[in-house]
């Protein structure tokens, strides 16, 4: 079989992936997409998907050209297959066909059943050469939230906690402030701007009274999610102050209030029902912040995609033990005095 040198294609695709990251925290439930238009081996325009409901990356890149005629005969690099259906915006595949590039280079096919190869078919039917699979692995990693939602029918789940050097997540009185340092806490606030939702269990809500909003960073607040199976939490908690969208999952009632929804679920397999409901509401990523019982439930069910664990130099001696996690360590970095470790589930 003839081998092709795709080093040039990889170079420009890396730029498209880099541009795509600029949409993080703004485009969900859409994927992160960047686009680069190249003529004579030179980038003549760039674009990315800036916000949900706004122009897609391909449209943004074309709009950034003063002379739209330069697209004809060019090569368009885009990390996700151009869409082929009408959603918030018209189909990008149709727009590209209209502008007649010579080649379109794609990292990943779209798992959305409304697209799923149809964008590629439209381009090829119009006589445009299409190359797929360029930096495919990097593209899937970038859009792992989108692909998880499309392929597994649930959000991408990140487990997050801070523990002491001797393995405790809270003191005996359930006080967990402050295990991690100020820089680690600022990083968590940045994550809150990047992920769709943050979740806590009922005990953590009662003991910590968390706000789950963004204070030490700039960006949107996440959706707050709390599991209060029998509706025992007091109404004066920060979670119920109505300042940001909040979902309270329980087995007793469904009720709508301003910015707060009580969602009644079947108690049989409540956790999976909860994740399916989040998926139905187009929430693509959830950070589970605690406590140990809730985190351990996700771990035991195998319902997690990534874990982020801060370990501080503090020692409690006794207290509430941290969750027990069996996973593959993928990264570890120091955040001042705290060690941040990232884990993935063990291969099945």
State the catalytic residue, choosing from 58, 81, 195, 306.
58
Q: Is 208 labeled as ligand-binding?
A: yes
Torsion angles phi and psi, residue 250, rounded to 5 = -150, 180
E strands, 40-111, where?
42-48, 75-80, 103-108
Q: Strand 338-345 to strand 306-311: parallel, antiparallel, or no bridges (unpaired)?
A: antiparallel
Q: Is 308 labeled as ligand-binding?
A: no
- Report the alpha-carbon distance of residue 20 to residue 2 in Å, rounded: 31
β-partners of residue 48 are: 34
Q: Is 92 labeled as ligand-binding?
A: yes
Q: Is 289 labeled as ligand-binding?
A: yes
β-partners of residue 307 are: 159, 343
- Residue 135 tokens, joined: 């930096």
C-beta of residue 344 within 8 angstroms of C-beta of residue 327:
yes
Q: Is 56 labeled as ligand-binding?
A: yes
Q: Is 315 labeled as ligand-binding?
A: no
CA 169 vs CA 41, 113, 182, 293: distances in Å: 54, 42, 17, 11
- Report the alpha-carbon distance of residue 221 to residue 150 in Å, rounded: 24
C-beta of residue 323 within 8 angstroms of C-beta of residue 169:
yes
Q: Is 248 labeled as ligand-binding?
A: no
C-beta of residue 34 within 8 angstroms of C-beta of residue 20:
yes
Q: Is 178 labeled as ligand-binding?
A: yes
Closest CA to 50 of 36, 34, 66, 63: 34
Residues 6+ apart with CB under 8 A from 310: 161, 162, 163, 179, 180, 184, 335, 338, 339, 340
Rg over CA atoms, the chain: 23
Q: Is 224 labeled as ligand-binding?
A: no
Rounded to a whole number, what is the largest CA-CA distance in the chain? 70
- Residue 278 tokens, joined: 């989040």
Q: Is 215 labeled as ligand-binding?
A: yes
Task: Give yes or no: 151 in active site.
Answer: no
Helix (H) or strand (E) holding 120: helix 118-125
Catalytic residue set: 58
- List binding-site positions for Zn(2+): 56, 83, 92
- List binding-site positions for substrate: 176, 192, 212, 215, 289
- List binding-site positions for NADP(+): 162, 178, 204, 208
């Amino acid at each position: 079989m003839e081998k092709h040198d795709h080093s040039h294609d990889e170079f420009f695709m890396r730029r498209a992936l880099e541009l795509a990251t600029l949409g993080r925290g703004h485009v969900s439930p859409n994927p992160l997409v960047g686009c680069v238009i190249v003529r004579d081996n030179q980038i003549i325009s760039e674009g990315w998907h800036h916000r949900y409901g706004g122009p897609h990356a391909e449209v943004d890149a074309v709009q950034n050209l003063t002379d739209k005629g330069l697209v004809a005969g060019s090569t368009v690099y885009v990390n996700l297959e151009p869409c082929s259906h009408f959603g918030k915006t018209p189909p990008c595949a149709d727009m590209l066909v209209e502008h007649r590039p010579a080649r379109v280079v794609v990292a990943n096919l779209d798992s959305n059943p409304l697209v799923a190869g149809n964008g590629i078919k439209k381009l090829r039917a119009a006589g445009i050469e299409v190359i797929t699979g360029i930096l495919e692995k990097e593209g899937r990693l970038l859009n792992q939230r989108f692909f998880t939602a499309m392929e597994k029918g649930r959000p991408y789940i990140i487990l997050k906690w801070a523990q002491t050097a001797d393995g405790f997540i809270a003191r005996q009185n359930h006080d967990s402030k402050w295990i991690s340092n100020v820089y680690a806490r600022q990083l968590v606030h940045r994550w809150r701007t990047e992920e769709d939702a943050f979740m806590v269990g009922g005990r953590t809500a009662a003991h910590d009274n968390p706000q789950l909003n963004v204070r030490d960073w700039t960006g949107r607040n996440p959706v707050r999610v709390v599991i209060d199976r029998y509706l025992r939490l007091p109404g004066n908690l920060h979670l119920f102050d109505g300042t940001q969208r909040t979902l309270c999952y329980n087995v007793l009632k469904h009720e709508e209030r301003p910015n707060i929804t009580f969602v009644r679920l079947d108690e049989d397999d409540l956790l999976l029902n909860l994740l399916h409901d989040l998926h139905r509401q187009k929430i693509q990523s959830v950070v589970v912040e605690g406590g140990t019982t809730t985190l351990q439930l996700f771990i035991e069910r195998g319902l997690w995609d990534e874990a982020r664990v801060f370990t501080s130099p503090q020692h409690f001696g006794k207290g509430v033990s941290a969750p027990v996690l069996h996973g593959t360590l993928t990264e570890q970095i120091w955040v001042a005095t705290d060690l941040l470790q990232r884990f993935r589930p063990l291969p099945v």
